[in-house]
Each structure stands twice: as structure tokens, then as C-alpha cells.
Amino acid sequence: MYHSTVSRRSLLTGLAATVAVLSPVATLAQADRVLRVTKTPTCGCCGAWVDMARAHGFAVEVTDTYDYAGMKTAAGVPDTLLSCHTATIGGYVVEGHVPFAAIDHMLETRPDIVGISVPEMPSDSPGMGGGRDAIVPVTAWGRSAGAGAPYIFAK
């Protein structure tokens, strides 16, 4: 009969190696959950969307600015897709009152796009009267969308 004994040192060494291998994965997953939102300081609907994003599990960092046009230009949002606030997460742009399920889907599937948008401010979108799980059409734009041509990403 074979008996194996594991010393405390070898157990801790193995545990440390496992943590070292998994840490970049955990860090990447955590980084993908940080939503950086830029909005005007007086926008109540943007604040409601931010609160819903936090309730959905995103870590949210908010920057207030009066430079509405500048935040859109800096993010590369096409004029036809403008809304009120602009966010970034996981290397993507999120424009306006985008449902959180669409953001999750984008982060899970990692499409070759610049970002997603709910243009304008639909009254049934999250933060505009629709709840956290509201469903509205979401438009994607950028790289694989063919010279930046927008297309429906989710409904």
C-alpha cells in the first residue's frame, strides 16, 4: 500500500503556483467589470443608469463633464448613434442607455466592434423609465461592421 504525505511547504508552494496562474484571469475578469462613465453633471437619467449598472454588478467610475461634444468625439461615437452618457468597458464603448444584458453579451462574445449604442434616449430603456432588465434595440458599430456601418447588435 502506498501512502503519500504532503508537506506543508509543498502544499503552500502548489497553492501559490495555482494562484499565480489564475490571477491574470481573475484580474482580466475584474477589469472587464469596470464601467467608466462620462456624463454631464446635471443628468438625472444618467445617474439612474449608473445606479442600475452598479446593481447589475459592474464597478462604476463616473466622470462629470460639461464638454458633451468632446466626450463623444474622444470615444469615436458616430453622430447617428449619439445619446446622453458615454462609457467604456473591456476595450469597448457603450453609448447611452444600453441594457446590461447587451453589455454582458458583448463582453462574453468579444465581437470585433468599437462599441454599442442605444441612440437618443428611448423612454423604455434602462434609466429612462425602463427597468434594469429593459429590452430595447442596441446598435453596434466599428471594425467588422464594415467600414463603421452600424448594425443591430441585440434586441
pLDDT in tens, 85-105: 999 999 999 999 999 999 999
Share of the chain above pLDDT 70, in %: 76
Q: Are 131 and 54 spatial neighbours (Cβ–Cβ below 8 Å)?
A: no
Looking at residue 120, what is its pLDDT?
93
Rounded Cα–Cα distance for residues 97 and 133 (Å): 11
pLDDT at 34 over 70: yes
Return the C-alpha cell found at 20.
499565480
pLDDT in tens, 43-60: 999 999 999 999 999 999
Rounded Cα–Cα distance for residues 87 and 72 (Å): 10
